[in-house]
């Protein structure tokens, strides 16, 4: 057998083939439909209603939706120990920003926890790495509170510019201090938006309406979106050194943690004003106090803090040039209801085996892509299950190649979900690990499995995503030698026929077999009467044959016979088949 070394790259080639008719299905809206046996991400785990733990207050519309489909346990203010104790009885967990979902939580779940829903945008209180390792989907609700957060940012901006909280408090104390609370105009001032995502973009639109000159810093922001709003994308240094106002809208990550520190403040214009409705940890609070005391920062308006609630003696909170609110960015009636519904729908869809568009620890795939590729999910998994059973015991499977035949441009063919399902098919039959679109890369890497992918460009209609999928396992021995192709790898190939997965090649033999149930593969000398002999043996033992087909190189030469059976043949039946003189080798496979 020739040794093979494939790079983990994508290639393109050309063959003169035609694609089959398009087969697609749509992801339906709630109310939820029953999960399919080969769902895109997670199989249907529940014969009874799932249990969902809610650890922080959630809007009533979201709770009502959850209760229609699940048992809901609302347990607030749990200690870390109490959360770890309860989580083993729960299939999903919904939190806000006050609950830390640590690695210990995932370990304590014993594998039962399938979904964590974060009611809001930030997910820094969820250990994404641990979630991925444990195959747990993490979803958030990034859309419903976008406007509320942007509006709160603008409210803080204007309140700070005109000293509204201080003036209000002064009058209520019986004072009239018009000269003390002279503000600054926003018209013509430079606003730097740090983090140009959903909220940052909405702040930019509103600030433009007030006549401000808006720039933004975000290394991941698309240029066309900034241009459409009329915002200039600039470097971090340019943003902080030229702005009159800075509004923070970035997530808290190791990169952004304490991004605004003594060094950053030293580069700013004297008299800068700062608004933060993002995450407290992006500002070094001690450094901000120093910058306020030295009047580098004239004012700060803060909705978030490193510690929430902040200490009562916090110098930052008590500073006379700081206005504060208790994390109210998403606190409007409309936003609370919207977030509750958004996260509830995402969690229920995940439990139902569907991938939410708000998933944060799995590839972002549109509903259109998922719908289009759904018919190929079963094919991908079954090819993996078939191929791994052809690997001889003791062989170390390390190198796998997937080839996709398609008339579509490779850049327009997202095969990640198919790659995940092939890995699922290869690994689950030989281990106790559960593989899904969340953890497939981690599991493959953990087992030293290298997956190379090739895309072959075919002649045909690009409306049809895939003509065939070929799977090859290199550098292994096979318990069915005929599955080894001329190039030295275990090779199986399949396609869809009438929307059903079919096996079309084993080794170098062309076949046509429905990938359902159990099959017996036989290599034989092609001769009359052989099919009848095998059928008689199976019939005598009351094993029902649902199909039988033969793929051959040429008449009266070697051939591969494939027999589909409804029941598992006994060892005695398989032995009798193997004793037929014309049969050179055979293997029984479960799909």
Residues belonging to the active site: 279, 308, 327
- Would you say 283 and 260 are in contact if contact means Cβ atoms under 8 Å apart? yes
* 3-state SS class at 43: coil
Distance CA 349, CA 356 (A): 7
Write phi, then psi, for 585 (nearest 5 degrees): -165, 155
The full length of the chain comes to: 591
* 3-state SS class at 424: helix
Distance CA 177, CA 170 (A): 7
Token pair of 354 as six digits: 């569907």
* Strands 71-74, 51-54: pairing kind: parallel
- Would you say 298 and 271 are in contact if contact means Cβ atoms under 8 Å apart? yes
Sheet holding 51-54, edge to edge: 71-74, 51-54, 92-95, 115-118, 137-140
Token pair of 342 as six digits: 């958004």
Single out the residue of 27, 30, 33 nearest to residue 368, CA to CA: 27
Question: DSSP letters of 14-63?
Answer: EE---PPPP---PPPPSSPPPPPTT-SS-----SS--EEEE-S---HHHH
- Would you say 43 and 35 are in contact if contact means Cβ atoms under 8 Å apart? yes
Q: Please name the residue that has the structure tokens 């990550």.
A: 253
Q: E strand or H helix at 94, and its extent?
A: strand 92-95
Q: Please name the residue that has the structure tokens 């799977």.
A: 471
- Would you say 519 and 591 are in contact if contact means Cβ atoms under 8 Å apart? yes
Residues 6+ apart with CB under 8 A from 393: 479
- Would you say 524 and 480 are in contact if contact means Cβ atoms under 8 Å apart? no
Write phi, then psi, for 77 (nearest 5 degrees): 60, 40
Q: Is 155 left (phi over 0), alpha (psi -120 to 50) or beta?
A: alpha
- Would you say 585 and 482 are in contact if contact means Cβ atoms under 8 Å apart? yes
Token pair of 107 as six digits: 């370990």
Distance CA 341, CA 345 (A): 6
Sheet holding 509-514, edge to edge: 12-15, 450-458, 399-406, 468-474, 490-497, 500-506, 509-514
Distances (CA, A) of 121 to 56, 144, 149, 591: 15, 9, 10, 41
Single out the residue of 251, 247, 216, 252 nearest to residue 231, CA to CA: 216
- Would you say 351 and 46 are in contact if contact means Cβ atoms under 8 Å apart? yes
Single out the residue of 389, 377, 563, 375 nearest to residue 492, CA to CA: 389
Residue 333 burial class via C-beta count within 10 angstroms: exposed 0-12, middle 13-18, buried 19 and up: exposed
């Amino acid at each position: 057998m020739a040794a093979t070394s494939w790079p983990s790259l994508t290639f393109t080639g050309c063959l003169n083939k035609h694609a089959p008719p398009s087969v697609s299905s749509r992801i339906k809206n709630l109310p939820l439909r029953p999960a399919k046996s080969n769902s895109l991400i997670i199989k249907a785990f529940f014969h009874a209603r799932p249990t969902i733990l809610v650890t922080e207050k959630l809007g009533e519309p979201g709770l009502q939706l959850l209760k229609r489909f699940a048992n809901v346990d609302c347990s607030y203010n749990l200690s870390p120990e109490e959360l770890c104790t309860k989580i083993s009885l729960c299939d999903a967990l919904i939190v806000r920003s006050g609950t830390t979902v640590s690695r210990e939580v995932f370990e304590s779940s014993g594998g039962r926890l399938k979904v964590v829903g974060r009611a809001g945008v930030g997910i820094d209180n969820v250990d994404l790495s641990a979630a991925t390792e444990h195959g747990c989907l993490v979803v958030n609700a990034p859309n419903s509170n976008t406007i509320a957060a942007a509006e709160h940012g603008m409210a803080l901006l204007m309140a700070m510019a005109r000293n509204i909280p201080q003036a209000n408090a002064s009058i209520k104390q019986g004072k009239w201090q018009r000269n003390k609370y002279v503000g600054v105009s926003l018209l013509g001032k430079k606003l730097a938006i740090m983090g140009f995502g959903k909220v940052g973009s909405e702040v930019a639109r509103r600030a433009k309406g007030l006549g401000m000159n808006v720039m933004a810093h975000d290394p991941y922001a698309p240029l066309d979106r900034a241009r459409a709003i009329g915002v200039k994308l600039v470097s971090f240094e340019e943003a902080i050194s030229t702005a009159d106002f800075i509004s923070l809208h970035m997530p808290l990550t190791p990169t952004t943690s304490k991004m605004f520190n003594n060094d950053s403040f030293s580069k700013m214009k004297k008299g800068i004003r700062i608004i933060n409705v993002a995450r407290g940890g992006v500002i070094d609070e001690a450094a901000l106090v120093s910058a306020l005391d030295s009047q580098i920062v004239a004012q700060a308006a803060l909705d978030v803090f490193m510690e929430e609630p902040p200490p009562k003696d916090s110098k930052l909170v008590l500073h006379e040039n700081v206005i504060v609110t208790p994390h109210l960015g998403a606190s409007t009636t409309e936003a609370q209801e919207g977030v509750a519904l958004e996260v509830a729908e995402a969690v229920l869809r995940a439990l139902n085996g569907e991938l939410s568009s708000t998933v944060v620890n799995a590839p972002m795939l549109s509903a259109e892509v998922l719908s289009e590729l759904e018919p190929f999910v079963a094919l991908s998994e079954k090819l993996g299950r078939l191929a791994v059973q052809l690997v001889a015991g003791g062989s170390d499977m390390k190198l796998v190649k997937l080839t996709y035949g398609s008339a579509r441009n490779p850049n327009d063919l997202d095969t990640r979900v198919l790659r995940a399902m092939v890995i699922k098919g290869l690994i689950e039959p030989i281990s106790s690990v559960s593989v899904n679109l969340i953890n497939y890369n981690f599991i493959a890497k953990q087992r030293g499995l290298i997956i190379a992918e090739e895309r072959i460009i075919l002649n045909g209609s690009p409306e049809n995503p895939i003509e065939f999928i070929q799977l090859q396992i290199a550098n292994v021995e096979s318990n069915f030698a005929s599955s080894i192709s001329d190039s030295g790898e275990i090779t199986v190939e399949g396609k869809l026929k009438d929307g059903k997965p079919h096996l079309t090649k084993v080794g170098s033999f062309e076949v046509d077999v429905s990938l359902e149930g159990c099959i017996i593969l036989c290599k034989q000398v092609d001769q009359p009467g052989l099919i009848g002999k095998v059928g008689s043996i199976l019939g005598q033992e009351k094993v029902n044959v649902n199909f039988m087909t033969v793929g051959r190189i040429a008449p009266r030469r070697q051939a591969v016979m494939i027999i589909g059976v409804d029941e598992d043949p006994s060892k005695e039946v398989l032995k009798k088949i193997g004793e037929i003189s014309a049969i050179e080798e055979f293997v029984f496979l479960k799909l």
